[in-house]
Structure 1
Amino acid sequence: MRSLIENRFGLLALVLVALLALYGTAAASRPQVAPAAVPRPERVPVASVTAVCPAPGEAAIGVLTPPGSREPGTASLVTGDRTLAAVDTPGRLWREEAPASSPPLVVTASGSMASGLEVSQSRRETSGGQRGLAGVRCTEPAASTWLIGPGPSAADVTLHLSNPDPAPAVAEILVYSGEGPVITDSGNVFTLRPGENRTIELKDLAPSALVMAIEVRTASGRVTAAARALMNGGRGVDWLPVSAAPATRVVVPAVPGGEGKRQLLVASAEETDTLVEIKALTPEGTYALKDRELVEVPAGSVATVDLAAGIGGRPAAVLLTSDTPVVAGLVATGPGARPDVAFTAGAASIDLGSVVAENRVDGATSSRLLLTAPEGAGTVSVQVVSGTDEAHEPFQVDIPPARTAQVKLPKIKGTFAVVVRPQPGSGPVYGGRVLEERLKGGAALTVQPLAVARIWAMVPPIAESAATVLP
């Protein structure tokens, strides 16, 4: 009996050995299956755009979709219950002055008119005893918007919020000053109904701040945010451009040349202090500013740096690098007995091109581009687009590496737009448009940093998943 059991176990062992050998041979001879490719976001043309121009009353509005598309599309311009226009021709500038006391202008575009659509507003300001130019890029709704500039102790600052979407939005306003985060008893959370516009005096949130950074963050929905600063003592008026989100490397482009003050503002929302390295990029090259190479930004606050002496009146950009993310902007004050003020802020490189929809060149007014290539050499084409059928050939601009180039725009009758497109092989390019008007007592100016054109959107990959149908 015992011998029989031993024989059975021996037979079982032989069978297992044979099976292992068989599967081992099959595994070794089976062709290798390549790992499945990881799906990546897909780049698709933008098919719909909404942009909002804050307080457009008596301002010149410029609307342009870059030339190139022949597909159907339309853009409608609505302020309140009034439709200003319907635009359906890519490559032709539309310009008109908005009626006085107009509510925010909402521009919605679809089809070919959406791809690259750009809207700007500008006006000569005379309110509050001021005189100057005030311009701003009309922006799309966002989940988070950063603005940086003077505080209520230095200027009358008004925040404009708009909810153009068909659903309610809840926005929280976070304020950082030179002394640290600003906490209010009343709370900084606001609910905006669909289509609602609201203005908020920032002195009600932070009455003593000399400089400030603001984040408008939405808990639900999306809003557009813009801020207008009326400087104390008749020292100018302008809109604050939207700043790039906090990052450890920030480029503040389009610092205008000429006399006057240049004050850099650097803000950190982090819980630890940070050191920021500052370099200036001018037409002569890149260099660290003497005695201003490093600036310490306390946690949750805004630091200021005087750059006027270091830049020496030259057009420039500012490159900032830090260990923790920061937000940056710059206040430029013109010379003269009645100076004007202009603001610029951190911006992204214009990898997909950029459009400025409102420019003028005549006897007293000039428009110029300031383009910076902080890394390798940059090459862009610049095309002027007017409101007529007249065609203007693009011209090429070469930007030496680690320098800033100033480009005077050609004299064109009436208002025109410019389309800036990086060329193959170009390094990253940052820039802005300076609009300046010579007035008695000092020049009036406004700066618009170049924003990435709304041409493409990155759509996340779609994969089969039971999560789409199961709770």
Structure 2
Amino acid sequence: MKRTTLSLFAGTAALAAVTGFATLTTPAASGADTAATAARLPVERSSLLCPSPSISDLAETSYTSYTPVTDGTAGSGTATLASATTETDDATTGKKDAKKGSKPVVTPKAPGTPAVGDASGADTPALVGTADGKFAPGWTVQETTEIAAGDGRGLQGVACTAPDTEFWFPGASTSADRTDYVHLTNPDDSAAVVDIDLYGKDGTVKSAVGEGITVPGHSSEPILLSTLTDEKQTDLTVHVTVRSGRVGAAVQDVDDNLGGDWLQAAADPAGSLVMPGIPKDATSVRLVAFTNGDADADLKVRLASASGAITPAGHETLHVKAGMTTAVDLGDVTRGEAGSLLLTPTGQSAPVVAALRVTRGKGDQKETAFIPATAEVGARATAADNSSKGSTLSLTAPDAAARVRVTASAGSGGGTAVSKTYSVRAGTTQDVAPPVPSGLKGTYALTVETVSGGKVYAARTLAATEGGVPGFTIQTLPDDRGTVAVPEADEDLSVLQK
């Protein structure tokens, strides 16, 4: 068989591996070369990685798994979330050996209903999750940790992420009052080799130990940023690239005075960026940006508030030098109105990554969270682990008016799903108390779908006050990529004659 025929079959097999469905069809007419419109089919397998939640003995962590109901999925499937390794005593040496497999922390029973699990203390491991069949499309897992006191006290949350080969984290730090870790989790059998590059206010931060970091198979490595460099930098951009294999990555900020939270990877470098969901009672907002291009970036800064897009006084534009991290304090930019920050080029576009560090509270009762620039909601996005109180949904339509449908799932312990449709005016942010399932017991998930109009960006805030400290965490809601485009493949027998 000739290579051209093998390529045709290999391409079809690759599509089948992703979607579970691909066919070869006979052309409608000889010589026809017009490709049919690609069909969108549900993905048949998903992977998620959750970092080790905390180094505090006081940490109380909950995990919430949820898959929205998706048309066209198979009738069967499974989803599990478990430690990548378990430790057992070696009978010969008495040492601890890491062995694959452990009891699942969460095992969902059906799409449309959340499943929950929990863990306590500082020894909770990173988790690896896989879902297939009807559980795969749009599968999401939320990791939420409450820490009553000490460094990092407050509420920390992270949406468990899919393994990948590149991540950007603007907003990290090696300052004296912060302890930032990059958590790298490898879900595969073979080791992954990772490079971590740091960029500060003057450009590349020299590091002799940030290259060629080995992450063994089925393991997780928390890398303390201050061990990669002696420089104390208030604002850093962290770039994680994988030479071989794949990992999940997230940055954990533990602050001596301001609590802490997870910084999730920002959206890929782009000319225009959206950071949705700044709480209305934010007392301080710090913008951190970086351009990886060869040219400087000049950006227009706007706040999409409930009443429309406004330009923050004194911060009309932002100049980002090529290869350098730029940070600016926007202060009380929301002035009592929830909003979303919009960055757009003033002239020629340059690729930029950015994130916000948001502070709530005053005096010694402050807490922080991060909002990375994010992709749009697209067809559908989901945030798990919501309760009847303490959840806020932020919807932003930066360019054109849009309508979105928000569905509150059944509760993890009971309740009936409900939906509500919202209209978002162009250039505004709408902060809403999301719908709550009737007869709710336990926690529930929120699924946001774009119904019509322009692009919509969204974020969900969880809030819980402990000892007077306004603990909170914010997760953005990018498209869940629950479906994939599968082009129709035509059989071309002429390749057998070449």
Aligned residue runs from structure 1 range 21-36, under 5 A = 36=33
Aligned residue runs from structure 1 range 92-111, under 5 A = 92-100=113-121, 101-111=123-133
* Paired residues of 1:180 and 1:301 also in contact (CA < 8 A): yes
Residue 49 of structure 2 corresponds to residue 49 of structure 1: no
Which one has a bigger Cα radius of gyration? 1
Q: 1:93, CA displacement in angstroms? A: 0.5
Q: Which amino acid aligns with 1:83?
A: K
Q: 1:237, CA displacement in angstroms? A: 1.0
Q: Which residue of structure 2 lines up, in the alignment, with residue 25 of structure 1?
A: none
Q: 1:433, CA displacement in angstroms? A: 0.4
Q: Which residue of structure 2 lines up, in the alignment, with residue 417 of structure 1?
A: 445
Q: Which amino acid aligns with 1:399?
A: V
Q: Which residue of structure 1 lines up, in the alignment, with residue 250 of structure 2?
A: 226
| Distance verdict in 2 for CA 1:33–1:41, change over 3 Å | closer
Q: 1:259, CA displacement in angstroms? A: 4.0
Q: Which residue of structure 2 lines up, in the alignment, with residue 76 of structure 1?
A: 80
Q: Which residue of structure 1 lines up, in the alignment, with residue 342 of structure 2?
A: 319
Q: What's the TM-score, normalizing by structure 2?
A: 0.81
Q: Which amino acid aligns with 2:103?
A: T
Q: 1:272, CA displacement in angstroms? A: 2.6
CA distance in 2, matches of 1:238, 1:285: 29
| Distance verdict in 2 for CA 1:464–1:271, change over 3 Å | farther
CA distance in 2, matches of 1:90, 1:160: 29
Aligned residue runs from structure 1 range 288-307, under 5 A = 288-307=311-330
CA distance in 1, matches of 2:193, 2:216: 9
Residue 240 of structure 2 corresponds to residue 216 of structure 1: yes
Aligned residue runs from structure 1 range 61-210, under 5 A = 61-68=63-70, 71-79=75-83, 80-81=85-86, 82-84=102-104, 85-100=106-121, 101-126=123-148, 128-153=150-175, 154-206=177-229, 207-210=231-234
| Distance verdict in 2 for CA 1:313–1:458, change over 3 Å | same
CA distance in 2, matches of 1:185, 1:107: 33
Spell out, residue by residue over 1:113-157, the C-alpha distance to the aligned partner (whole angstroms, 9 max, x if none).
001101011011246444210000000101111112130105110
* Paired residues of 2:300 and 2:316 also in contact (CA < 8 A): yes
Q: 1:265, CA displacement in angstroms? A: 1.1
Identity %: 29
Q: CA RMSD in A?
A: 2.5
Q: Which residue of structure 1 lines up, in the alignment, with residue 358 of structure 2?
A: 332
CA distance in 2, matches of 1:317, 1:60: 28
Q: 1:177, CA displacement in angstroms? A: 1.4
Q: 1:432, CA displacement in angstroms? A: 0.3
Q: 1:41, CA displacement in angstroms? A: 6.0
Q: Which residue of structure 2 lines up, in the alignment, with residue 399 of structure 1?
A: 424
* Paired residues of 1:142 and 1:223 also in contact (CA < 8 A): yes
CA distance in 2, matches of 1:382, 1:299: 40
3-state DSSP class of the match of 1:59?
strand
Query: How many residues matched?
Result: 432
Q: Which residue of structure 1 lines up, in the alignment, with residue 457 of structure 2?
A: 430
Spell out, residue by residue over 1:169-223, the C-alpha distance to the aligned partner (whole angstroms, 9 max, x if none).
2211121112211121234221222212111000112441111111211122211
* Paired residues of 2:413 and 2:441 also in contact (CA < 8 A): no
Q: 1:273, CA displacement in angstroms? A: 2.0
CA distance in 1, matches of 2:242, 2:492: 29
3-state DSSP class of the match of 1:376?
coil
Q: Which amino acid aligns with 1:181?
A: T
Moved more, 76-85 or 379-388: 76-85
* Paired residues of 1:67 and 1:92 also in contact (CA < 8 A): no
Spell out, residue by residue over 1:35-74, the C-alpha distance to the aligned partner (whole angstroms, 9 max, x if none).
7225776533111011011114641100000124572111
Aligned residue runs from structure 1 range 331-350, under 5 A = 331-336=357-362, 337-350=364-377
Spell out, residue by residue over 1:387-438, the C-alpha distance to the aligned partner (whole angstroms, 9 max, x if none).
1442122111111111000111346443221111111x23211010011123
CA distance in 1, matches of 2:160, 2:76: 23
Q: Which amino acid aligns with 1:45?
A: P
* Paired residues of 1:266 and 1:329 also in contact (CA < 8 A): yes
* Paired residues of 2:282 and 2:358 also in contact (CA < 8 A): no
| Distance verdict in 2 for CA 1:41–1:247, change over 3 Å | farther
Q: Which residue of structure 2 lines up, in the alignment, with residue 242 of structure 1?
A: 265
3-state DSSP class of the match of 1:248?
coil
Moved more, 247-256 or 126-135: 126-135
| Distance verdict in 2 for CA 1:266–1:43, change over 3 Å | same
Q: 1:464, CA displacement in angstroms? A: 7.8
Spell out, residue by residue over 1:76-104, the C-alpha distance to the aligned partner (whole angstroms, 9 max, x if none).
12113322243241111101112541211
Q: 1:440, CA displacement in angstroms? A: 3.8
Q: 1:371, CA displacement in angstroms? A: 0.5
Q: Which amino acid aligns with 1:325?
A: P
* Paired residues of 2:108 and 2:114 also in contact (CA < 8 A): no
Q: Which amino acid aligns with 1:50?
A: S
| Distance verdict in 2 for CA 1:204–1:40, change over 3 Å | farther
| Counterpart pick for 2:478 among 451, 462, 465 | 451
| Distance verdict in 2 for CA 1:34–1:419, change over 3 Å | same
Q: Which amino acid aligns with 2:50?
A: C
Q: Which residue of structure 2 lines up, in the alignment, with residue 17 of structure 1?
A: none
Q: 1:439, CA displacement in angstroms? A: 3.6
* Paired residues of 1:176 and 1:269 also in contact (CA < 8 A): no
Specify every segment of 5 or more residues in structure 1 that has no aligned partner in the other structure, as ranges: 1-31
